[in-house]
Structure formats: structure tokens, C-alpha cells
């Protein structure tokens, strides 16, 4: 990818398939399990020996379980290599299972627009091991909020993320990670305590100048707001 932000080359879906490729069509009668493996899996196997722990096809989509230590290299290669060109990260999320012995999975959904391919990468985090995986923010800038959401909901730390804060819950939220299985549906605190903590937050002070995109208009703001933003004050608890 060129770092020159002025040059822009449109991505044309299917452009790498050649002119006599079949027109895209909605697949019919897809089997639940089994079917053709995405050819990318063999390419990963060839490139990173031993990095692929498991690969299956479910509902026609390929899922690859990758070695935790090498997932960043794999994704970097999938993105950069012209024979793969996975240039779109559509989701980063995690799965925890009801069976608490089962490891937590961190999931990346990658899409290659030029080759019209989809692949799902997974990393298993065994219970009791530190919950951190490398951030792919340096490869896909769009991973920023996806990883923040995943951190917010599951407590997974993305190493190398530039600004890993809660996204959906407020920053000072103290009850834990809502999508974890040990999280009670109604939260850990009583309703009055939850409300007290929520109301203690100052809705204006939570954002930095940059987030409000008002850095230019900063001088025109009221003095008290300027002071709050300047000191980076984050009120609430």
C-alpha cells in the first residue's frame, strides 16, 4: 500500500480473477460441514509451516485456527501478498463458550475483494493464560474500533493498539466485561449503584479535543470547557 494519501486506486471486486472467471452467484445447497477449502489455507500452510492448527469448512466458509504467536505474521502476509490480497477486515470479535473449560476464541474475518474470497481466522486463548493477542491496527486501520469493542466486551488486550479504551460502555465502567459468561445479565452492582456511577460521569468531559474535532475552534470555546479539555480531565469514577 502506498503511503501517499493523495493517490487513490479503486479496488475492483474480482479484478484478480481474470476475464473468463465465472460471474459471482449466490451459492445454493451449501452443506453444513465439508466442501471446498479456501485455497488460501494451503498457501498459509506452505508459507508458515505448523502455524495452521485446524481448518474446517462450515456452511461453505473456511475457518482456520492459527497459532497464537504467529497470527500477526499470517494476517500481515495475507494482506500484503499479491497472491492473497485480503484487503478488507470485516470484523474482529471473540467467542466464549458455556463450557468454561473450552478456550476463548478471538476471531478475525478477512475478505479478499480482488479474489472474492472470505476466510475466518481464529486464535484460541486457553483459560488461565493472559488474554492478549497482537493488534492488527498496523495492517488495517479499521481495526481500531473493532478491537476497542472486543476489549470492552470481552477484556481481551490487543497488544500494539494505539488507544485501547472502552467503546460502548463508558470509560470508567467498573463492573467488568459484559459478554463474558461469568458476567451476570443485570451487571454486578445494584441498580441504584449503577445509576449513581453513570450519573457521576460528565458527558462533555469525556472526549478529547481531537475526538470532538474542535481542535481548530478551541480558542472560541467557553473558558470552563477549554480548561476541562486542556487538562484532559476525565470526570466520573
Enumerate binding residues for other proteins (CB under 8 A).
98, 168-170, 175, 178, 181-187, 190-196, 198-203
CB of 31 to other proteins, least distance (A): 29
- Cell of residue 159, nine digits: 497488544
Q: Which CB sits closer to other proteins, 77 or 183?
A: 183
Distance of closest approach, residue 153 Cβ to other proteins, in angstroms: 11
Residue that the C-alpha cell 467488568 belongs to: 176
- In angstroms, what is the minimal distance from the CB of 225 to other proteins? 14
Find the shortest distance in angstroms from Cβ 214 to other proteins. Answer: 18
- Name the residue nearer to other proteins (CB basis): 118 or 183: 183
Name which of 144 and 152 has its Cβ closer to other proteins: 152
CB 230, min distance to other proteins, A: 21
Contact present, 75 and 139 (Cβ < 8 Å): yes
As measured in angstroms, the least distance from the Cβ of 91 to other proteins is 21
Quote the CA–CA distance of 51 and 84 in Å, as a whole number.
17
Q: Which helix (H) or strand (E) holds 154?
A: helix 143-154
Residue 160 or 187 having the CB closest to other proteins = 187
**Cβ closer to other proteins: 13 or 198?**
198
**Residue with Cβ nearer other proteins (61 or 175):** 175
Give the containing element (helix H, strand E) for 62. Answer: strand 61-66
Question: How many Cβ atoms sit within 10 Å of the Cβ of residue 62?
Answer: 20
Contact in structure between 92 and 136 (CB atoms under 8 Å): yes
| Eight-state DSSP code of residue 221 | S
Task: Name, in order, each residue with C-beta under 8 angstroms of 13's C-beta and a sequence gap of 6 or more.
Answer: 24, 113, 114, 116
Q: Cα(222)–Cα(234) distance, rounded to whole angstroms?
A: 18
C-alpha pair distances (Å), 77 with each of 16, 19, 24, 86, 117: 17, 26, 26, 9, 15
Minimum separation from the CB atom of position 185 to other proteins (A) = 5
Which cell numbers in the block locate residue 49?
Answer: 509451516
Q: Whose Cβ is closer to other proteins: residue 48's or residue 183's?
A: 183
Amino acid at each position: 500500500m502506498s503511503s501517499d494519501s493523495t493517490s487513490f486506486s479503486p479496488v475492483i471486486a474480482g479484478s484478480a480473477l481474470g476475464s473468463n472467471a465465472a460471474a459471482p452467484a449466490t451459492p445454493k445447497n451449501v452443506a453444513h460441514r465439508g466442501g471446498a477449502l479456501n485455497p488460501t489455507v494451503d498457501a498459509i500452510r506452505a508459507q508458515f509451516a505448523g502455524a495452521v492448527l485446524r481448518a474446517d469448512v462450515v456452511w461453505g466458509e473456511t475457518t482456520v485456527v492459527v497459532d497464537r504467536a504467529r497470527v500477526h505474521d499470517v494476517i500481515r502476509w495475507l494482506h500484503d501478498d499479491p497472491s492473497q490480497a485480503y484487503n478488507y477486515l470485516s470484523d474482529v470479535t471473540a467467542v466464549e463458550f458455556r463450557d468454561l473449560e473450552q478456550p476463548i476464541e478471538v476471531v478475525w474475518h478477512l475478505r479478499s475483494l480482488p479474489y472474492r474470497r472470505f476466510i475466518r481466522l481464529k486464535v484460541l486463548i486457553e483459560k488461565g493464560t493472559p488474554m492478549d493477542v497482537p493488534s492488527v491496527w498496523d495492517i488495517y486501520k479499521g481495526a481500531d474500533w473493532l478491537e476497542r469493542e472486543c476489549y470492552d466486551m470481552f477484556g481481551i488486550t490487543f497488544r500494539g493498539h494505539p488507544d485501547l479504551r472502552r467503546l460502548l460502555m463508558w470509560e470508567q465502567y467498573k463492573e467488568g466485561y459484559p459478554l463474558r459468561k461469568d458476567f451476570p445479565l443485570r451487571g454486578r452492582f445494584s441498580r441504584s449503584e449503577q445509576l449513581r456511577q453513570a450519573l457521576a460521569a460528565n458527558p462533555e468531559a469525556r472526549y478529547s479535543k481531537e475526538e470532538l474535532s474542535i481542535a481548530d475552534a478551541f480558542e472560541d470555546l467557553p473558558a470552563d470547557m477549554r480548561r476541562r479539555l486542556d487538562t484532559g480531565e476525565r470526570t466520573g469514577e
